[in-house]
Structure 1
């Protein structure tokens, strides 16, 4: 598995308040699989993770979201965290960046509360997805077919519920990223 993603470039979009384990475990696994990974955030500098409700570590941002575009990357990963997800969905540049992956038929992996930005980007309609249970109504109201499963894959869109699902989430994310473009992935 170490070289499975060689030559791929993956963006992880976060801001302060992301669930740290939903960031670090996919980041480490995707890098270990051979991909180059950039941390993207609304502002340059650093972002702070959370360990549920306790402050976590600071992480360096590689690029501000306004300075990059989806066409520079092969896939997008969206960690959860209530504060992170709420702030990202209110940031126009972040929403546009996320939508770009759907417009370009590229894999997107989202966990926990991360789906809020996809609702804002209007890309979940008709998609089968899972999320943290409190987003069930939000996703259904946005037109998604919400299910309570460990991991769901729908034409390149990988979704999971919470940190307990990380092993399955990471495996499916790496699988989708290694496959590349998805004809059914639309905005």
Structure 2
């Protein structure tokens, strides 16, 4: 059933551009213009490690994994990792009030949530508790550490067996779901739409 999917496009691009810069993330003093740079090979490798870690935690094809983060390099690493694992990536709007974010998490029925940092996670936990909801079973903090959550580095170390990744990829087809879009709700209740790997 294997076919071209979002992750295979990343692999093709990494073969073409290799160690050329793909992502730049400001780090340290912005006045000094310090950046963490990820090459195409880095992006592919790290996203693959994230995919394997998610698979080890139980993410299976078609399951939603949500990301609550500003647009950072880590966001893109995680986004492709989710899709590489066969999951459906759902980006949550960070500009939403936390109560709306808590509702979005319930609506997506995700068991996997990536959050930018401990501060964001703490605010979200409070909002979810207020609306009598449940936090997803697997919480991953993209920067730093947080109580009762896994760090992105820990996730990346969970599974390193490349044959597992190859089996995941063989099971994906271009028609499989890749991205779950959540509308802003500016004209009413937020809506959801799904895009396939082929789109």
TM-score, normalised to structure 1's length? 0.32
More RCO (CA 8 Å, sep 6+): 2
Q: TM-score, normalised by structure 2?
A: 0.30
